[in-house]
Structure 1
Amino acid sequence: MTSPGSDAILSRLMGLHPKVIDLVLTRVETLLAALGHPERRLPRVIHVAGTNGKGSTQAMIRAGLEAGGDRVHAYTSPHLARFHERIRLAGELIPEPMLADLLEECEAANAGQPITFFEITTCAAFLAFSRVPADWTLLEVGLGGRLDATNVVDQPALTVITPVSIDHQQYLGETLAEIAGEKAGILKRGVRCVVGPQEEDGLAVIEAKAARLGAPLFVHGQHWHVAEDRGRMIYQDETGLLDLPLPNLPGPHQIQNAGAAVAALRLLGRDAAACEAAVSRAEWPARMQRLRRGPLAETAPGIELWLDGGHNPAGGQAVAATLARLPARETHLICGMLNTKDVKGYMRPLAAQAARLWAVSIPDEPNTLPAEATRDAALAVGLAAEAAPSVAAALARIVDQAPQARVLICGSLYLAGQILRDNG
Structure 2
Amino acid sequence: MTSVPSLADQEIGKLLELHPKGFDLKLDRILRLLDDLGAPQLRLPPTIHVAGTNGKGSTSAFSRAILEAAGRAVHVHTSPHLVDWRERYRLGQAGGRGELVSDEELAETIRRVATVNAGRPITVFELLTAVAFVLFAEHPADATVLEVGLGGRFDATNVIETAAVSVVTAISLDHQAFLGDTVEKIAGEKAGIFKRGVPVVIGPQTSEGALGVLRREAERTGARVHVYGQDFLAFEEHGRLVYQDERGLMDLPMPRLPGRHQLGNAATAIAALRAGGFDPPQAAIEAGLTRVEWPGRLQRITSGRLFDLCVPGSELWLDGGHNPGAGLVVAEALADLEDRTQRPLFLIAGMLNTKEPVGFFEAFAGMARHVFTVPIRSSDSGLSAEELADAAIDAGLEAEPCDSVEEAIRLVSTGWQSSPAPRFLVCGSLYLAGDVLRESGLAPR
Alignment TM-score, normalising by the size of structure 1? 0.97
Provide Cα deviations, 1:351-384, integer angstroms capped at 9, x if missing partner. 2221000111111411110001111111111111
Provide Cα deviations, 1:157-216, integer angstroms capped at 9, x if missing partner. 111110111110000011111100000011000011111012211111111112211021
- Which SS does the other structure have where 1:358 is aligned? strand
- Which SS does the other structure have where 1:133 is aligned? coil
**Amino acid in the other structure paired with 1:225:** L
Whole-angstrom CA distance in 2 between matches of 1:14 and 1:20: 10
Instruction: Provide the alpha-carbon RMSD of the alignment.
Output: 1.4
Which runs of structure 2 are paired with 1:245-324 in the superposition (5 Å)? 245-267=253-275, 268-302=278-312, 303-324=314-335
Which runs of structure 2 are paired with 1:12-411 in the superposition (5 Å)? 12-18=14-20, 21-90=23-92, 91-198=98-205, 199-267=207-275, 268-302=278-312, 303-326=314-337, 327-400=341-414, 402=416, 404-411=421-428
Provide Cα deviations, 1:38-73, integer angstroms capped at 9, x if missing partner. 111111111000000000000001010001110000
Whole-angstrom CA distance in 1 between matches of 2:394 and 2:211: 33
- Which SS does the other structure have where 1:88 is aligned? strand
Deviates more, 1:357-366 or 1:12-21: 12-21
CA spacing shift, 1:79–1:245, aligned 2, 3 Å: same
**Amino acid in the other structure paired with 1:181:** G
**Amino acid in the other structure paired with 1:300:** C
Kept after mapping to 2: 8 A contact 1:311/1:341: yes
- Which SS does the other structure have where 1:241 is aligned? strand
- Which SS does the other structure have where 2:363 is aligned? helix
Whole-angstrom CA distance in 2 between matches of 1:2 and 1:177: 46
**Amino acid in the other structure paired with 1:286:** G
2:95 aligned residue: none
Whole-angstrom CA distance in 1 between matches of 2:218 and 2:346: 44
Whole-angstrom CA distance in 1 between matches of 2:391 and 2:5: 39
Q: Which 5+ residue runs of structure 1 have no aligned equivalent? A: none
Kept after mapping to 2: 8 A contact 1:225/1:235: yes
Deviates more, 1:227-236 or 1:33-42: 227-236
Whole-angstrom CA distance in 1 between matches of 2:84 and 2:328: 28
Whole-angstrom CA distance in 2 between matches of 1:31 and 1:6: 20
CA spacing shift, 1:171–1:306, aligned 2, 3 Å: same
CA spacing shift, 1:21–1:289, aligned 2, 3 Å: closer
How many residues align? The count is 424
Kept after mapping to 1: 8 A contact 2:196/2:221: yes
Kept after mapping to 1: 8 A contact 2:179/2:185: yes
Kept after mapping to 1: 8 A contact 2:378/2:435: no
Kept after mapping to 1: 8 A contact 2:23/2:125: no
2:12 aligned residue: 10
Kept after mapping to 1: 8 A contact 2:21/2:123: no
CA spacing shift, 1:298–1:283, aligned 2, 3 Å: same
CA spacing shift, 1:417–1:36, aligned 2, 3 Å: same
Shift of 1:19: 7.9
**Amino acid in the other structure paired with 1:272:** Q
Whole-angstrom CA distance in 1 between matches of 2:69 and 2:21: 45
**Amino acid in the other structure paired with 2:320:** G
Kept after mapping to 1: 8 A contact 2:69/2:285: no
Kept after mapping to 1: 8 A contact 2:8/2:106: yes
Kept after mapping to 1: 8 A contact 2:373/2:385: yes
- Which SS does the other structure have where 1:278 is aligned? helix
Provide Cα deviations, 1:82-117, integer angstroms capped at 9, x if missing partner. 000000001100001100100000110111112111
Whole-angstrom CA distance in 2 between matches of 1:343 and 1:349: 11
Kept after mapping to 1: 8 A contact 2:378/2:431: no
Shift of 1:252: 0.8
- Which SS does the other structure have where 1:15 is aligned? helix
Counting aligned pairs with the same residue, the percent is 50
CA spacing shift, 1:278–1:2, aligned 2, 3 Å: farther
Alignment TM-score, normalising by the size of structure 2? 0.93
**Amino acid in the other structure paired with 2:40:** P
**Amino acid in the other structure paired with 1:4:** S
- Which SS does the other structure have where 1:225 is aligned? strand
Kept after mapping to 1: 8 A contact 2:24/2:123: no
